[in-house]
């Protein structure tokens, strides 16, 4: 992260520990973790391991359901992988940064292409506000305000440690 760009310092590892605590609070025994590519998928993978959950976390891609598909096209960010039956499953969707809500709307549509879950909850590392759709997380490790010209993205190093990058657009 470049803290001089925004005056903001977020400790991604400390926020991950808060997310782990929050997921344990809102979770249930048969919950399935699914992360939004790429940062949310990294979170889901690490939470799956740190919580000692059996199996593999799922991954959801927003590419096919984005409302800006005509402008963006297909991204190379990853594909949806759901290693369990979605029908009746209690699913916790994980994302690194929640902003407008449009990506979440797209991944929920993608999720329902695979079946009808019993329930869907959302946990995010950072909620930065600025919603354009009526979507709220069930748990957010932090809430911050950034200018519309700034973007916040989770990064992961070779050892799996998290950090944030803040960029001006």
Domain that includes residue 137, residue range: 3-66+79-164
Q: Give the Cβ contact number of residue 93 at 10 Å.
A: 25
Q: Could you give the number of structural domains in the chain? A: 1
Measure the CA–CA gap between 118 and 156, rounded to whole angstroms: 32
Q: Is residue 36 part of a domain?
A: yes
Average pLDDT value for residue range 19-29: 95
> Which band of pLDDT confidence, cut at 50, 70 and 90, is reported for residue 118?
very high
Measure the CA–CA gap between 139 and 75, rounded to whole angstroms: 28
Predicted confidence at residue 3, as pLDDT, reads 37
pTM: 0.90
Measure the CA–CA gap between 93 and 158, rounded to whole angstroms: 24
Measure the CA–CA gap between 40 and 58, rounded to whole angstroms: 10
54: domain CATH number is 3.40.50.2020
> Residue 8: exposed, middle, or buried by beta-carbon count in 10 A (0-12, 13-18, 19+)?
middle
Does residue 2 carry a pLDDT above 50? no
Does residue 124 carry a pLDDT above 60? yes
Q: How far is CA 41 from CA 61, 64, 91, 148, in A?
A: 10, 17, 14, 25
Predicted confidence at residue 78, as pLDDT, reads 80
Does residue 81 carry a pLDDT above 70? yes
Q: Is residue 125 part of a domain?
A: yes
Q: Is residue 96 part of a domain?
A: yes
Predicted confidence at residue 63, as pLDDT, reads 85
Q: Is residue 74 part of a domain?
A: no
Measure the CA–CA gap between 47 and 130, rounded to whole angstroms: 27
Q: Is residue 71 part of a domain?
A: no
Query: Percent of the chain beyond pLDDT 70?
Result: 88
Q: Is residue 108 part of a domain?
A: yes
């Amino acid at each position: 992260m470049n803290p001089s760009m925004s005056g903001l310092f977020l400790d991604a590892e400390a926020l991950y520990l808060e997310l782990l605590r929050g997921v344990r609070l809102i979770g249930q025994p048969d919950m399935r973790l699914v992360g939004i590519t790429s940062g949310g998928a990294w979170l889901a993978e690490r939470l799956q391991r740190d919580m000692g959950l059996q199996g593999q976390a799922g991954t959801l891609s927003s590419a096919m359901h984005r409302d800006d598909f005509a402008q963006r096209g297909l991204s190379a960010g990853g594909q949806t992988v759901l290693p369990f039956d979605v029908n009746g499953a209690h699913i916790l969707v994980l994302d690194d940064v929640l902003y407008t809500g449009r990506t979440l709307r797209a991944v929920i549509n993608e999720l329902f292409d695979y079946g009808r879950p019993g329930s869907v909850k959302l946990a995010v590392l950072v909620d930065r506000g600025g919603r354009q759709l009526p979507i709220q997380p069930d748990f957010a490790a932090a809430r911050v305000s950034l200018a519309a010209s700034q973007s916040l993205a989770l990064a992961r190093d070779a050892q799996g440690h998290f950090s944030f990058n803040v960029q001006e657009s």
